[in-house]
């Protein structure tokens, strides 16, 4: 099977090399013909030599010999006849060797090149005059060198093209992976934002509307108060939804200006809306913090208060923001029913040092996955995801009947 020549798109240098080889062939063929006519103008073979030279030139310059086996065979046959008629036409061998190497696979090209070389040696031996023992050695050396260089460069080019194709494929795969990671990251961001804002707000609205429905006949004023509170929560959630769709800071941060003021406003609003007594405490002078860290701590405080409201059955809660030099720590504590974090899945163990009370062991857990009994499965993982992006840690301390402390620490030096 004949091998198709390299296209210019696959090998940009093949075009000009082909032009050079064809011009060299025409020059060598013309020189050989002129030499023959100078010495054998009156020979009976002259018309045949001229006709075959013209046919050989047309066949080679057409380029069909590099694409069609029949044309290549015709060109090589014409040249072989010319060499047998006039040995000086052996000079055209090198361009023909290049044509054979381009048009034929190496397994077939090497025997063909060997045959062309042998024909050149035979023509050298037929030259009149004294025998020169060096003449039969030159054609094989030149042919071997030309073939070796051509095959080496061809294989190097194939390796480079394969490498380029692999690099392009790898770049496309990396781009696809980056797009998928970006989509997953955005999905995770929206999931966390929806849980910490819309889902918690909808839960509060549901409880308020249920309370309004129960008291509508007996206490219409209280029922209307519940409805108004639910409407205010809906309006605030709408503002939050618009902000996190655009990846903006939480509405409380935008309105209050600082994390401390936003946490204090959150504590006051929670106390007013749910009846849970919440107080805010600042420990240490505030240290400038990136907006992403402030947003994360505020969202964690919102999620922790929502868990207290829905699951803890607590009467009091506190939000403490502490600046400890190299880190900021947010503690959200309550006096509710408490639980054993991760004990069912991990076996639990009493905490050492901080968190142990005289009334019994207090369990400490750095969550690995689910939220345990203190959450419906997404709150604590959402907090952990936020902190992981900032190099922070989340710790849960609790015990049955002794309340819960959710502690989020963010290293300030990391930012």
| DSSP secondary structure of 290-319 | -HHHHHHHHHHHHHHHHHIIIII--SEEEE
Percent of the chain whose predicted confidence (pLDDT) is above 90: 13
Mean pLDDT of the region 12-31? 78
The residue ranking higher by pLDDT, 356 or 133, is 133
| pLDDT tens readout for residues 65-84 | 666 777 888 888 888 888 88
The residue ranking higher by pLDDT, 401 or 354, is 401
Mean pLDDT of the region 164-181? 87
Confidence of residue 395 (pLDDT cuts 50, 70, 90): very high
The residue ranking higher by pLDDT, 189 or 174, is 174
Sequence ranges of the domains in the chain:
14-131, 258-349+358-415
The residue ranking higher by pLDDT, 164 or 7, is 164
Q: What is the dihedral of CA 341, 345, 350, 353, to 10 degrees?
A: -60
Which pLDDT does position 356 carry in this prediction? 33
Q: Which two tokens stand for residue 286?
A: 């505030």
At the top level of CATH, the class of 258-349+358-415 is: alpha beta
The residue ranking higher by pLDDT, 2 or 403, is 403
Q: SS3 for 394? A: strand
Which pLDDT does position 282 carry in this prediction? 93
pLDDT over threshold 60, residue 201 = yes
Q: How far apart are CA 385 and CA 65, in angstroms?
A: 67
Which pLDDT does position 279 carry in this prediction? 93
Confidence of residue 278 (pLDDT cuts 50, 70, 90): very high
Confidence of residue 245 (pLDDT cuts 50, 70, 90): low
Nearest Cα to Cα of residue 146 among 105, 107, 98: 98
Q: How far apart are CA 44 and CA 102, in angstroms?
A: 36
């Amino acid at each position: 099977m004949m091998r198709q020549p390299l296209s210019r798109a696959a090998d940009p240098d093949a075009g000009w090399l082909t032009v050079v080889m064809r011009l060299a062939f025409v020059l060598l063929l013309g020189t050989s013909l002129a030499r023959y006519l100078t010495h054998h103008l009156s020979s009976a073979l002259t018309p045949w030599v001229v006709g075959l030279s013209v046919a050989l030139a047309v066949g080679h310059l057409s380029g069909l010999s590099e694409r069609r086996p029949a044309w290549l065979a015709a060109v090589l046959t014409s040249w072989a006849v010319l060499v047998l008629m006039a040995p000086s036409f052996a000079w055209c061998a090198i361009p023909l060797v290049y044509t054979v190497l381009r048009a034929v696979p190496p397994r077939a090209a090497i025997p063909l090149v060997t045959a062309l070389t042998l024909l050149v040696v035979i023509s050298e031996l037929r030259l009149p005059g004294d025998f020169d023992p060096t003449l039969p050695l030159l054609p094989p050396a030149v042919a071997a060198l030309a073939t070796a260089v051509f095959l080496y460069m061809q294989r190097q080019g194939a390796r480079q093209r394969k490498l380029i194709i692999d690099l392009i494929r790898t770049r496309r795969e990396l781009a696809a992976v980056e797009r998928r990671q970006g989509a997953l990251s955005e999905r995770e961001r929206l999931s966390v934002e929806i849980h910490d804002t819309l889902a918690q707000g909808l839960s509060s609205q549901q409880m308020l509307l249920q309370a309004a429905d129960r008291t509508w006949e007996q206490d219409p004023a209280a029922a209307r108060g519940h409805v108004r509170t639910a409407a205010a929560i809906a309006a605030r959630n709408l503002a939050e939804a618009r902000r996190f769709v655009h990846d903006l800071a939480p509405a409380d941060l935008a309105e209050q200006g600082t994390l401390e003021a936003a946490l204090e406003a959150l504590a006051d609003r929670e106390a007013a809306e749910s009846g849970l007594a919440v107080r805010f405490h600042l420990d240490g002078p505030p240290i400038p913090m990136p907006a992403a860290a402030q947003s994360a701590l505020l969202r964690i405080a919102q999620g922790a208060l929502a868990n207290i409201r829905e699951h803890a059955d607590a009467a009091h809660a506190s939000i403490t923001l502490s600046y400890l030099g190299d880190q900021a720590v947010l503690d959200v504590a309550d006096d509710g029913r408490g639980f054993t974090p991760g004990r069912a899945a991990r076996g639990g163990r009493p905490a050492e040092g901080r968190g142990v009370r005289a009334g019994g062991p207090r369990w400490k857990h750095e969550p690995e996955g689910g939220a345990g009994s203190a959450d419906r499965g997404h709150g604590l993982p959402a907090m952990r995801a936020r902190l992981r992006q900032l190099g922070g840690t989340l710790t849960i301390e609790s015990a049955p009947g002794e309340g819960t402390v959710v502690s989020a620490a963010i290293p300030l030096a990391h930012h």
